[in-house]
Amino acid sequence: MELCRLLYRRLARVSFFPMHLKSPYYGWGLALLVLTAIRIVMGAVVPLTPDEAYYRLWALAPAAGYLDHPPMVAVFIKLGLLVAGDNACGVRFLGPLSAAVGTILLAMATRDWLQHLAGYSAKDAQRAGVRTAVLLNGTVALGVGTLLMTPDTPLLLFMTLMVWSLGRLCVTGNGAWWLLVGAAVGLGFDSKYTALLPAGGMGVWLLATQAGRGWLKTWWPWLGGAVAAVCVSPVVWWNATHHWASFMKQGGRTGDWHPARMLTYFSELVGGQVGLMSPGVFLFFIGGCVVLWKQRDSFSRLLLCMILVPLAVFVQHAVGARVQANWPVVLYPALAMAAALPRWRGWKVASGVGIALVALIVIQAVASPLKLSPHLDMTLRQMGGWPDFGRIVVAHVPADSVLIADEYGLAAELAFYAPVGRPVVAVEPRWSLFTFPKAACGEGYLIRSRRRHDMPDTALFTVLSQEQDLARERDGAVGERYALYHVRTQCDAAGHGQNAVLLPSRH
């Protein structure tokens, strides 16, 4: 506790609250510290999801790009592993810290903006800053996103940095802030490609408003663009030298087009956002956009463009294809700022409901008080029973055998939860993009989900025998069943397994 007090006193010296206003907000600052500590502890307790285990492998094979996403999530995980070790806490360590930093930046941005609007005193602006921070932390997306390390984690941090630096730009008129805007956009792109959408809204503001066109007559936005280009160049270079693999994978989503299912996709889009924002915060976000529309200052116009342009893209996409629920998370920092405009009561309750929902999710993931099927229980389906499953697999195969998986998530989980030193071989074309050593062909035991009703690919494996099925369970509830095959991997011309690599185990 003494360390926490010392840390808080040091932060208070550079706090965004004026001295005479600091004491009323002491409780909010302390609450953020406590919430961050709780998130770190929970991140250490909850088992890794398959995607998180997969991203951990990215951190162990540093590159400027990967098939599924840009590399920033791997950078975050690598830093966490260096601090907290190769464990669940290390994988997720930077999530709660980045959320805390983003919370402070967003509160500062709201304060800077509103204290220059008519009708807002300095004290009103301070309170609105707190309201913004509390509402953002009341979203289920941020609450769960601080426990699970995904590309959205660094994306939210850099989008918040972008919003804050744009706020400083509009308030101070100092063009040098464009350099930080450019860095935030570039690093956001290095986190997830959807960062281009708010940046596109900023581009519309530059072209469509008098204030924006005024900036275009100076060197500053162009220099900011140069900074962004430098930041994204490693990702572009990696794609250029790897057959544009990542760009093609993400861009290929536009080819899935089924307009006849438009109503289904729209209902999923809206329902997903009500769930990820939490119902009360969703209403504040909508109300904030309505009030924001009526504002006429340059930053309000900018914020509105950064919301409407991505929203238009998501709505257009939902006409014929599914919008994944987490895609609009890129809008949440701007939406949280807009939500500070309505001076409605109930914002604490709205945020509290969201935090309570996150707490229920964590409790279910850790203690499993509700016995639900994996179809209804996302925590069971994604996280349930992995530590025990690693031991179960090893107990059912000979001690000198190799574990094999032809699903990237399952392979990554086995590499993390199987006993140290037990070789795990991943067989899938995606692994050719990694620097992991090639696996020699030979015999081993292939684990495959029973959700896949086909037999192992004969171009990759010769099945020698089928063994007893295995189950991944949490407190008696089965998350998934797996078939176990004794196989021989097919050899390529160099004597390696076809599309097979040897994954690093924990150390």
**Radius of gyration in angstroms for the set of CA atoms belonging to the chain, rounded to a whole number:** 24
> CB-hemisphere CA count at 13 Å for 52?
29
Q: Are 40 and 93 in contact (CB under 8 A)?
A: yes
Look at residues 121, 219, 128, 111 and name the one whose alpha carbon lies nearest to residue 167.
111
403-405 and 443-449 strand pairing: parallel
SS3 451: coil
User: Could you report the per-residue pLDDT of 28-75, keeping only the tens digit for each?
Assistant: 888 999 999 999 999 999 999 999 999 999 999 999 999 999 999 999
What is the Cα–Cα distance from 97 to 82, expressed in whole angstroms? 15
What is the Cα–Cα distance from 393 to 10, expressed in whole angstroms? 50
SS3 247: helix
SS3 428: coil
User: How would you write the pLDDT of the chain (507 residues) with one tens digit per residue?
Assistant: 444 454 445 444 444 444 344 445 678 888 999 999 999 999 999 999 999 999 999 999 999 999 999 999 999 999 999 999 999 999 999 999 999 999 999 999 999 999 888 778 888 888 999 999 999 999 999 999 889 999 999 999 999 999 999 999 999 999 999 999 999 999 999 999 999 999 999 999 999 999 999 999 999 999 999 999 999 999 999 999 999 999 998 876 665 667 778 889 989 999 999 999 999 999 999 999 999 999 989 999 999 999 999 999 999 988 888 889 999 999 999 999 999 999 899 999 999 999 999 999 999 998 888 888 888 899 999 999 999 999 999 999 998 899 999 999 999 999 999 988 889 999 999 999 999 999 999 999 999 999 988 899 999 999 999 999 999 999 989 999 999 999 999 998 888 888 899 999 776
283: Cβ contacts below 8 Å, ≥ 6 apart: 350
**pTM given for the model:** 0.92
Q: Are 318 and 266 in contact (CB under 8 A)?
A: yes
Q: Are 133 and 31 in contact (CB under 8 A)?
A: no
* Residue tagged 């544009």 (tokens): 244
Look at residues 48, 51, 54, 47 and name the one whose alpha carbon lies nearest to residue 436.
54
What is the Cα–Cα distance from 155 to 190, expressed in whole angstroms? 8
- From residue 505, how far is each of 230, 385, 390, 402 by CA, in Å? 34, 19, 12, 12
Exposed (0-12), middle (13-18) or buried (19+): which is 420, by Cβ within 10 Å?
exposed
* Length of the chain in terms of residues written: 507
**Element (DSSP H or E) covering residue 433:** none
**Element (DSSP H or E) covering residue 503:** strand 496-503
- Opening angle at CA 251, ends 245 and 257, nearest 5: 135
Exposed (0-12), middle (13-18) or buried (19+): which is 488, by Cβ within 10 Å?
middle
- DSSP-derived letter for residue 480 is E
User: Could you report the per-residue pLDDT of 257-306, keeping only the tens digit for each?
Assistant: 677 788 899 899 999 999 999 999 999 999 999 999 999 899 999 999 99
238: Cβ contacts below 8 Å, ≥ 6 apart: 63, 64, 65, 71, 246
